[in-house]
Amino acid sequence: MSEDINKLQDINWFNESANEIFNAIKKLTYYYLSDSELLNLSLYDTILKACIKHLTVLENQQIKILMQCLIVLNNVITKTSIYKKFMKELNRECLRRFYPSNTKELLLISDAFYQLQNKNSDYLFRAIRKLSSKSNKLSAKSLVQLLFYLNLTDVGSAINMFEVECQLEEYMPDLVVNELGIIARSFFLQKRKIKNKTLMPLIIKKVFQNINNVDSITLASIMKVIRYSDCIHCKIEFQLLLKSLRDIIPNLSLQCLIHIAHAFGSLHVYDEILTNKIIERVITQIQSARLKDIERIIYSICTIAPNTNYYTDIYKKLIKEITTTYTTTRANEIEKFPTTFIRILTFLTMKNIYIPELIQYIFEPSFIQKVHKNNLKLITNEWLVLHCSVKIEMPYYQGPMLNNDMYKYLTKKFCYNDDVYRKDNIIKLKTEIVYLCKTKLGINVYIDYILPHYPSREIIFGMDKYNNSINIESILSAMETNTIKSVKRNVLGHNDYNGYIQRQLRQLKTIGYEPILINENEWISYTQDEKIKYLKQLIYQQT
């Protein structure tokens, strides 16, 4: 073999024919597989340079074999000085030969460029764009391949994904569960929700039926797209899927478990057995968990878990991990992902949990400066939530807070003016309640923002001790806008209020209000007379 290598190094490749160079690259591949250290980088560089001018005379099959060899040699050819130029010429030649090809060949050559890790491949971009334009003519397997390659280009923004969803619904019997993972990953990475109301339940059902054959990567991808697509319409199917996951927890990676928890937290579906098994695994592997993992598990249990001693103990364990590492082993992670750190503290406020040491740390001007770097746009709503929550529920706190400029910027940025611009069901419901209170119950109501970190207007009314309506508009309107105007949703799995709603109710009570919640589903099912009776019961029962 050493003699053959010496011969290769002694040849002037610029004087050799296309076939000689082609055969030399095949030999290089064989030698590389035998011992990747045998050859000098300069030899690869020289042969590739000589190959460029012969690409046009190689046969189609030779081009395909050449690409197979290059895939094997990819780790070394990427280090050559000629690599970028060679790949540019190879792309050009493949476009000339194979771009007019059939679907099978388009995908075959696309796969070769993918394996060559040629991120800026002109061929790959144009082939995927061409295939995307006729996605309705692709077979099930070809469509899955297309969705896989979409993540490598920006073609996805131009493709009609709803049309793809309808095709996937039709092809569902032909797809295996791991292909669903590829599909889910494509939707998630392109930030495209699955809007087809029939498709997502079919995906969940397929995973449920193949639960013992699904791997962690596939399941994590599907959980991501379930969360991102806001699958309120398939909560029952999702709840059944969660039950089926209970027994396979030991087989799943920690990352996968975190994505499962993140999904059921977002959909507000509580499965006690599954939740507790995931938490126990997280606590066992807490030191290897990322800060982002801790954030997501805290979000999930704060959002859906009931208030019990078990979960209180879990919060303590998670908090201990943070308080003992935030200036040591996790310091670099916190510096790199400060928003993740503040989200943890914000989510804990849902359960009325405050850690003064950590709150003081993140509100230090030096820490905030590292986050926004003189660009207030980098300061997120979490800072406002924590600032207002601390003011309401930690009156003894004397540490640093947001300065006035930051506070004003955030209250202005996250004020949605919901009554003016939004036309959703919540605004319709509020408008109807105001009308009935004024015209049918004779109650003076006032609409205003009470909690700056909850940027939606509240319906407010006042009652004296005899349950007579009193005018409170003059009191509240005199208070400065975007300040806390102080006057002194259900989870599937259990019936307590939780998460953001729990925090909002608690904080409204703290500043002197008596919150009255109206169930939207009940409200829309009532006649007008029933709505009036319903309002009377709620108002006079609590006042």
The predicted model gives 79-108 an average pLDDT of: 92
> What is the Cβ-side half-sphere exposure of residue 36, based on CA atoms within 13 angstroms?
6
pLDDT at 489: 47
Burial of 455 (0-12, 13-18, 19+ CB in 10 A): middle
Chain centre distance of CA 466: 51
Range of lowest pLDDT (30-34, 100-104, 467-471):
467-471
* pLDDT tens per residue across span 229-261: 878 889 999 999 999 999 999 999 999 999 999
pLDDT at 456: 78
pLDDT at 156: 60
Tell me the pTM. Answer: 0.83
Query: Cα–Cα distance between 410 and 378 in angstroms, integer?
Result: 11
* pLDDT tens per residue across span 26-40: 988 988 888 766 678
Tokens standing for residue 125 = 């971009």
* pLDDT tens per residue across span 420-434: 555 567 778 888 888
* pLDDT tens per residue across span 507-539: 888 877 788 877 777 787 888 888 888 888 888
Query: Cα–Cα distance between 388 and 407 in angstroms, integer?
Result: 10
* pLDDT tens per residue across span 475-493: 777 777 677 666 554 555 5
pLDDT at 417 over 70: no
Evaluate whether 249 touches 285 at the Cβ level (below 8 Å): no
* pLDDT tens per residue across span 331-377: 999 999 999 999 999 999 999 999 999 999 999 999 999 888 888 88
pLDDT at 512: 78
* pLDDT tens per residue across span 178-207: 999 999 999 998 888 999 999 999 999 999
Percent of the chain with pLDDT over 70: 92
Percent of the chain with pLDDT over 90: 54
DSSP sequence for 8-29 = HHHS-GGGS-HHHHHHHHHHHH
Query: Cα–Cα distance between 268 and 231 in angstroms, integer?
Result: 11
pLDDT at 135: 84
154 vs 400, more confident: 400
Q: What is the largest CA-CA distance in the chain?
A: 106
Q: Edge-to-edge strands of the sheet including 445-448? A: 445-448, 458-463, 469-470
Query: Cα–Cα distance between 388 and 345 in angstroms, integer?
Result: 13
pLDDT at 351: 93
Contacts of 183 (CB under 8 A, 6+ apart): 144, 147, 168, 175, 203
pLDDT at 513: 76
Tell which residue, 233, 235, 253, has the closest CA to residue 243: 235
- Give the start-to-end residue ranges of the domains of the chain: 1-97, 307-414, 425-540
The predicted model gives 299-324 an average pLDDT of: 95
Strands 490-491 and 458-463: unpaired
* pLDDT tens per residue across span 158-169: 678 888 999 999
